[in-house]
A and B are shown apart, each in its own frame.
Chain A
């Protein structure tokens, strides 16, 4: 039973355009959400996070939107660059207990020059 779902295994966009990566979750106890980027043979690299008390967080070209009623979040990358090509993981955690992250399966983004 997957609590965090990334339904698109892959996404291809043109350089300079917007990339939108989506993530859905089922556990209403999740209150902190993160996006990680992963290159082959490397560990996940933290990109951006959002707390459930917010609906938007921005950091440079990266913006994360959270819709709690829909249990949906998205990562927008504008403008997309070829160096953004990687696998993007959505992760979530909940208050209390351990701080473990629950990950989606990832979306492979390809940005074409």
Chain B
């Protein structure tokens, strides 16, 4: 079956521009996560959805970052007024369990964002 897909794969933005990154999770997966991976670092948690509810947004670095998942499937991560420090790979992951933990997260290929 299809895995997690993300679009666009690459995005170049001018500083101050708004961008929107899309994630299509594995069909039927309830949980969806966004991570940010800077060069040479491991992925860092941004936010978590269970269906359409955003249960944890503690990793969002500033109020310029906003995520939504209005119908409990596709999610969009929006970054307003992009800054150079926003340049990173943005990874989306999904998992199937409704509640609880110890469930494997499956990752998409990521969107590489470069802010000039």
Contacts and interface: CB of A to CB of B under 8 A. Distances in A.
Contacts, number: 74
Interface in A57-110: 89, 91, 93-106
A106 B56 contact: no
Contacts of B4: 43
A4 B42 CA distance: 10
Nearest to B41: A105
Interface residues of A, number: 30
Interface residues of B, number: 30
A34 interface: yes
B62 interface: no
Given A89-B43, A98-B56, A106-B42, A46 B103 contact: no
Interface of B: 4, 6, 31, 33, 35, 40-45, 48, 55-56, 59, 91, 93, 95, 97, 100-110
